[in-house]
Amino acid sequence: MKILLICSSGMSSSLLAKKIKKAADDKGIDAEVWAVSTDALDNNLPNADIVLLGPQIRFMQKKISEVASVYNVPVDVIDAKDYGMCNGANVLEKALKLLNRQ
């Protein structure tokens, strides 16, 4: 499973990406998780199974969903509480549900 996190600069999501990867490892799930800025979307989207947006860019969900639909990649917004608390386990669960892998 390849989870792409996108935020305005790519920095605030980097720690969350590590927490999601750890949660996946703990469950025995083979996952690649990385974070980029919105500027890097086009270069990273073809490699993703799912795109999760930081809550600070939720206003871009429709636009990013349109671009991602070309690759049949679902896009959703990370819950603000889970994002703020870096709750990788909850974000992983959301990704699994969206990909119907749970």
Q: How many CB atoms lie within 10 A of CB 32?
A: 14
How far apart are the C-alpha atoms of 28 and 68, rounded to whole Å?
27
Q: Choosing from 3, 5, 6, 7, which is the catalytic residue? A: 7
User: How many Cα atoms within 13 Å fall on the side-chain side of residue 18?
Assistant: 5
Q: Is residue 11 packed enough to be buried (19+ CB in 10 Å), middle (13-18) or exposed (0-12)?
A: exposed
The residue with tokens 């070309």 is 70
Residue 7 annotated in active site: yes
Residues known to be catalytic? 7
